[in-house]
Amino acid sequence: MRIALSTLTSRRHVSIHEKMDVDTAKELLDVTPTRSLAISLSAELVEDKLFVHIDVSGEINARCDLCGEECLAPLACSMDEELELTDPYFDPEDEAFDLSELVEEAVVMSLPRTVRCKADCKGLCPHCGCNRNYEVCDCEQSESTGSNNPFAQLQSLFSTGGANNGSTKM
């Protein structure tokens, strides 16, 4: 995305709405979008500074971080930048701002940090590996008895008192 300085000086404000095709987005993100990504860019020249606002939205095919099920995850990012004529984004030969890198950065930042198949996903059982969204296992019952719980010994501090077990507080 290039914006000529002459366009900015005559209009002061420029809005661009584009789509990033699936193949380009897939190469950039290393995940597969369900459709092309919507990119909105607005730029405003105030004196010798360019204020840029970028919005990215879309959807990717992903796997839930808790249970591993395939699901759809939203992509969303808003980014604001303040650029000057001395920034590397400005090409003095063409007298234009090349905002391609900024747009790519916004697309990468739009990736969700965590992916959930649903808000109340129960995940996988850490013992038997069953998907707790579909199956009930009895590993939780054995967990509550403390047989596999490495912190079960700490319970004795509450029942016998910390001072008798090495605590410095009386």
Per-residue model confidence (pLDDT) at position 78: 93
Local confidence band at 170 (pLDDT 50, 70, 90 cut-offs): low
| Residue 134 half-sphere exposure toward CB, CA atoms < 13 A | 8
pLDDT digits (tens, 9 = 90+) for 68-80: 999 999 988 899 9
d(CA 40, CA 160): 63
| pLDDT, average across residues 104-120 | 88
Mean pLDDT calculated for residue range 93-110: 84
Whether the pLDDT of residue 103 is over 60: the answer is: yes
Q: What is the mean pLDDT of residues 138-155?
A: 63
pLDDT, average across residues 126-153: 73
Pairing outcome for strands 49-63 and 32-33: antiparallel
Is the predicted pLDDT of residue 45 greater than 70, yes or no?
Answer: yes
Mean pLDDT of the chain: 81
What is the CA angle 2-12-40, rounded to 5? 50
**Total-model pTM:** 0.68
Query: What is the reported pLDDT for 100?
Result: 84
Show the tokens assigned to 81.
């930048």
Domains of the chain, residue spans:
2-109
| Contacts of residue 134, Cβ cutoff 8 Å, sequence gap at least 6 | none
